[in-house]
Amino acid sequence: MKTIIRRAAQLAATALIAAITLTATGAAAAPLSSAPQNFDVMYNALPCVAGGPAPADAAMANTLNPLLAKKMRGHMTPYNTSCARAVVQAVQERGLNQRAAAIAIATVIVETSIANLDGGDLDSVGLYQQRATWGSFAERTNPVIATGKFLDTMERFYPNGSWNTAAIGDVAADVQRPAAQYRYRYGVEAGDAQIIADKLWTTPVPTTGRFWHNVRWSDGTWSGANVADNNTAVAQVVEAGSPLGDLHVLTLSGGKVYHNVRWANGTWNGANMVDGNGNISRVAVATTPNGDLHVLTVVGGKLYHNVRWADGSWSGAGLADNSGAISDIATAGSPVGDLHVLTVAGGKTFHNVRWANGTWNGANVADANGSIARVAAATTPNGDLHVLTQVGGRLYHNARWSDGSWSGAGLADNNGAITEIAAAGSPAGDLHVVTLAGGKASHNVRWASGSWSGANVADGNGSILMVGAATTPNGDMHLATVRP
């Protein structure tokens, strides 16, 4: 449902009853808009959360209204409470504190009275009234992405956490860059913003858990999830099937990588540390036809490559990409022995190849989207490389065909709440894709024909934090999850 928002003269007083009169400060991003103008235009307030406001939002609005002192006093509704909740949760999921949430809330109070608008001054849209230079319309009207862009700029302007000690209003104004005469407005709302942020702040969601193993047998039935590693500090899990039918599992815990094997007979080896760096943030794994296991790790934004040779010995981690900005990785081994490596840096996906002779191709942009958060990759027996990306909670599919050409990214799942993805190619040429949304793992298949099955819940636990996927030569698909 869309709510109609009336935006009147930018210097007008706020009156939020049936509609919201916004007092805007001009453009929310460089370049700045022209000086405030008097105009009277109708804009739509787009949803901030899937499914719209919840009953808890109505209750919270009633709680907040008498506590506030400025613009929003008496004017918090279930809708703008749901928008504030989306902003606070985005800050929390990024790992920042309540002060960061208050800075963001102060901003959206001033810019839009906490409404996710489809229009604004010039080309400004969204909660923050971000200009077109900040991204696409879809990105700027997605509260999670828009908040992320706001926080990116905040941390760039105030490095090393210095925004923690600066005045809330000053930080917000420095990010938004209004005309000088309007800077003060963010500070006016700082107190109310802190109240809203504090009330909506929730107990942090667990970020680690145990590794659980599930199997989709080749006949399409599922085994059900069982604990495979009782370590409760696992932050990420990835898998790769070997040509012999063994399943290699890499877990990330405390910045270190552990290796476990589920042998073809169904028994487990047990987890052993294979990289004790202590600062590893992401891990990826793939096998090549000769039985070598390739492990990629990210440390300080740089990519490292380690190999467990077919004889069981390890090469040790060596620097493979000195980018310094890598935030996510994926890898897949090809039928001819090459290793495809996908990295995410600055919201873009880069493709690199370690050829079968051990040399590296070097990273090249494969998808310049700019808002990519996660990447997964898998190869199929015909040599095609399938690259899955998560943008704004949606799943996109791209393919590098065996001739080296790319298909381009196309929407594969419009869910809107996807946070993690995994992929595995089957011996029959099908592509298995696992997505995580709302703590549940869903399974989708891109059949060898190119058609999709559609996503179906494979594990509805509700508290899953991470997913991994791999296939073995007999056609079984192994689903790994991390949950408390």
pLDDT digits (tens, 9 = 90+) for 308-357: 999 999 999 999 999 888 999 999 999 999 999 999 998 899 999 999 99
* pLDDT band at residue 28 under the 50/70/90 scheme: very low
* pLDDT band at residue 237 under the 50/70/90 scheme: very high
256 in Cβ contact with 280 (< 8 Å): yes
Dihedral angle, C-alpha 336, 337, 338, 339, nearest 10 °: 130
Domain boundaries, the chain: 3-200, 209-483
The 10s digit of each residue's pLDDT in 243-302 is 999 999 999 999 999 999 999 999 999 999 999 999 999 999 999 999 999 999 999 999
pLDDT at 326: 92
Mean pLDDT score, 457-470? 96
Q: Which of 74-78, 159-163, 204-208, 393-397 has the lowest mean pLDDT?
A: 204-208
Distance CA 85, CA 202 (A): 10
Distance CA 440, CA 415 (A): 12
pLDDT at 42: 73
Environment class of 416 (CB within 10 Å of its CB; exposed 0-12, middle 13-18, buried 19+): middle
Computed from CA positions of residues 173, 179, 184, 185, in that sequence, does the dihedral angle turn out positive or negative? negative
pLDDT at 393: 84
- Residues near 242 by Cβ (< 8 Å), separated by ≥ 6? 248, 287, 291, 293, 472
Dihedral angle, C-alpha 239, 245, 246, 251, nearest 10 °: 0
| Superfamily of segment(s) 209-483 | Fucose-specific lectin (2.120.10.70)
* pLDDT band at residue 10 under the 50/70/90 scheme: very low
pLDDT at 109: 97
* pLDDT band at residue 12 under the 50/70/90 scheme: very low
Distance CA 349, CA 342 (A): 7
Per the rule left: phi > 0, alpha: psi between -120 and 50, beta: everything else, 404 is: left
CB atoms within 10 A of CB 408: 11
Distance CA 228, CA 247 (A): 12
Distance CA 469, CA 237 (A): 9
Q: Which residue has the tokens 């890898």?
A: 331
CA 79 to chain centre: 24
Model-wide pTM > 0.85: no
Q: Which residue has the tokens 């077109």?
A: 132
Q: What percent of the chain has pLDDT over 70?
A: 91
Mean pLDDT score, 433-460? 96
